[in-house]
Each structure stands twice: as C-alpha cells, then as structure tokens.
Amino acid sequence: MNKKYEVIWASVAENDLARIIEYIANDSTRNALKVLNKLKKKTANLHHSPKRGRIIPELHEYGIYQYRELIIAPWRLMYRVQEERVYVLAVLDSRQNIEDILLKRILEAKL
C-alpha cells in the first residue's frame, strides 16, 4: 500500500495563493477559479509522491537540499518533506527574482 503524506499549508503560502487568485480575479473570476483548481490539483498529488518535485536550484547551489518545488507555470510551489508530512511554504511567481523574495522573507521573519 502506498504511503499517504499529510499536506500542510503554511500561512505565508496560503497568503501567496490568496494574492495570486485575487489578482487574477480582478480581471476574470473564471480564470481565477481555473488557476486555483490547477494549483490545488497539483498540490493534491503531493499526498502520494512528494519527492517528485525538483530540489530548488537556487538553494541547491548553497548545499541546501531539503526544499523542493513543483513548477506550475508561471508559479513555483515550494515545499519541504518531513517524515510523513509535506509543508507547502510558498507559491511564487517564477518571473520574479526568487532569491530576493526569499531573502526578504527571511529578514522579515527575524524582525
């Protein structure tokens, strides 16, 4: 029997998702729902195969291997697998500088 992982969304990732959907909904509610369904469907697959995502390249360069991502163009859904849980940590626009976004979040968390 396949192991089933619990998928837990961090509040910052939920906020990322809400901002994305709100932004799209300003133009088209229908498209916003399509995007939401697409992101949720891809995330649901993490229940059964969380290690299918690639290691985040920007972190890999620094020897950090525990964070993975799914590319759901144009977004990057970043997560970490720990024991039998998958923690969704961020949903970011891949057209932006990811290193700057992550650094900003780290600095804000320390304040």
d(CA 36, CA 30): 10
Residue-wise pLDDT tens for the chain (111 aa)? Answer: 578 999 999 999 999 999 999 999 999 999 999 999 999 999 989 999 999 999 999 888 888 899 999 999 999 999 999 999 999 999 998 888 777 777 777 777 665
**pLDDT for the residue numbered 23:** 95
Global pTM reads 0.85
Backbone angles phi, psi at 81, to 5 degrees: -100, 125
Q: Which domains does the chain have, with CATH numbers?
A: 6-110 (3.30.2310.20)
**pLDDT for the residue numbered 31:** 96
